[in-house]
Structure 1
Amino acid sequence: MKDINEPSTVPLVITDEPINNEVIKTTTSSSKNGGNKKNTGVSSQMQLLALAKNFVLDGGLASLEKQMPLEERTQKRARVSALRKQENLEAIIKRSINYCSATEFANKADADWFSTFTELAEDVSNTTMQNLWAKILAGEISQPGSFSTKTLKIFRAMSITEAKLLAKACSLAVTEPAKRNIRIISGAYQTPSLFNFFSKNREQNIPFSQFSLSYADLLILADNHLVFIQETESTPMDKSEVFTFNFNGRPLTLVAKKSSCVLKFYKFTPVGSELARLISDNVDDAYLQHLKSAINESFSVVEG
Structure 2
Amino acid sequence: MKDINEPSTAPLVIADEPVNSEVIKTTTATAKNSSNKKSAGVSSQMQLLALAKNFVLDGGLVSSDKQMPLEERTQKRARIAALRKQENLEAIIKKSVNYCSATEFTNKADADWFSTFTELAEDVSNTTMQNLWAKILAGEISQPGSFSTKTLKVFRAMSITEAKLLAKACSLAVTEQTKRNIRIISGAYQTPGLLNFFSKNREQNITFSQFSLSYADLLILADNHLVFIQETESNPMNKSESFHFNFNGKPLTLTANKSSCVLKFYKFTPIGSELARLISDNIDDTYLQHLKSALSENFSIIEG
The C-alpha deviation readout for 1:229-262, integer Å capped at 9, x for no partner, is 0000000000100000000000000000100000
Residue 23 of structure 1: how far off its partner (Å): 3.5
Task: Verify the 8 A CA contact 1:116 1:149 in the aligned structure 2.
Answer: yes
Match of 1:21 in 2: 22
Q: Secondary structure at the match of 1:246?
A: strand
Which residue does the alignment assign to 1:41?
41
Instruction: Identify unmatched segments of 5+ residues in structure 2.
Output: 8-18, 29-39
Shift of 1:24: 6.2
TM-score normalised to structure 1 length: 0.90
Higher relative contact order (CA 8 A, sep 6+): 1
Offset at residue 21 of structure 1 (A):
1.9
Q: Which runs of 5+ in 1 are unaligned?
A: 12-17, 28-39
1:8 matched to 2:4? The reply is yes
1:26, distance to aligned residue in structure 2 (A): 9.0
Contact 1:10 1:125 in 2 (8 A): no
Cα distance in 1, alignment partners of residues 300 and 271 from structure 2: 31
Deviations 1:6-46 (A, max 9, x none): 132599xxxxxx9932446899xxxxxxxxxxxx7111111
The answer to whether the 8 Å contact 2:24/2:62 transfers is: no
Q: How far does the alpha carbon of each residue in 1:88-125 deviate from its partner, in whole angstroms, 9 at most, with x for none?
A: 00000000000000000000000000000000000000
- Once residues 238 and 294 of structure 1 are traced to their aligned partners in structure 2, the CA distance between those partners, rounded to angstroms, is 20
Counterpart residue type for residue 149 of structure 1: T
Query: 1:139 matched to which residue of 2?
Result: 139
What is the rounded CA distance, in whole Å, between the counterparts of 2:268 and 2:202 in structure 1?
26
Aligned-CA RMSD value: 1.8
What is the rounded CA distance, in whole Å, between the counterparts of 2:121 and 2:98 in structure 1?
18
**TM-score normalised over the length of structure 2:** 0.90
User: Distance in 1 between the 2:130 and 2:21 partners?
Assistant: 35
Instruction: Please give the secondary structure, in 1, of the residue aligned with 2:116.
Output: helix
Aligned 1:85-164 pairs, distance under 5 A = 85-164=85-164
Whether 2:251 is the aligned partner of 1:231: answer: no
Equivalents in 1 of 2:269, 2:143: separation in Å? 20
1:207 partner SS: coil
Task: Compute the displacement of 1:61 (Å).
Answer: 1.1
SS at match of 1:144: coil
Q: Residues of 2 paired with 1:124 and 1:275: CA distance?
A: 17
Task: Give the distance between the partners of 2:70 and 2:264, measured in 1 at CA.
Answer: 61
Sequence identity (%): 84
Relative to structure 1, the CA distance from residue 19 to residue 242 in structure 2 (aligned partners, 3 Å threshold; closer, same or farther) is farther
Alignment match, 1:33 = none
Q: Which residue of 2 aligns with 1:184?
A: 184
Q: Within 5 A, what are the aligned runs for 1:45-64?
A: 45-64=45-64
Q: Tell me which amino acid in the other structure corresponds to 1:168.
A: K
SS of equivalent to 2:236: coil
Cα shift readout 1:140-171 (whole Å, capped 9, x = no counterpart)? 00000000000000000111111110000000
Answering whether residue 207 of structure 2 is matched by residue 207 of structure 1, we say yes
SS in 2 for 1:238: coil
Evaluate the alpha carbon distance shift between residue 96 and residue 171 of structure 1 in structure 2; reply closer, same or farther with a 3 A threshold. Answer: same
Kept in 1: contact 2:27–2:46 (CA 8 A): no
1:266 aligns with 2:276: no
After TM superposition, what 4+ stretches of structure 1 lie above 3 angstroms from structure 2?
Answer: 22-27
The alignment covers a number of residue pairs equal to: 282
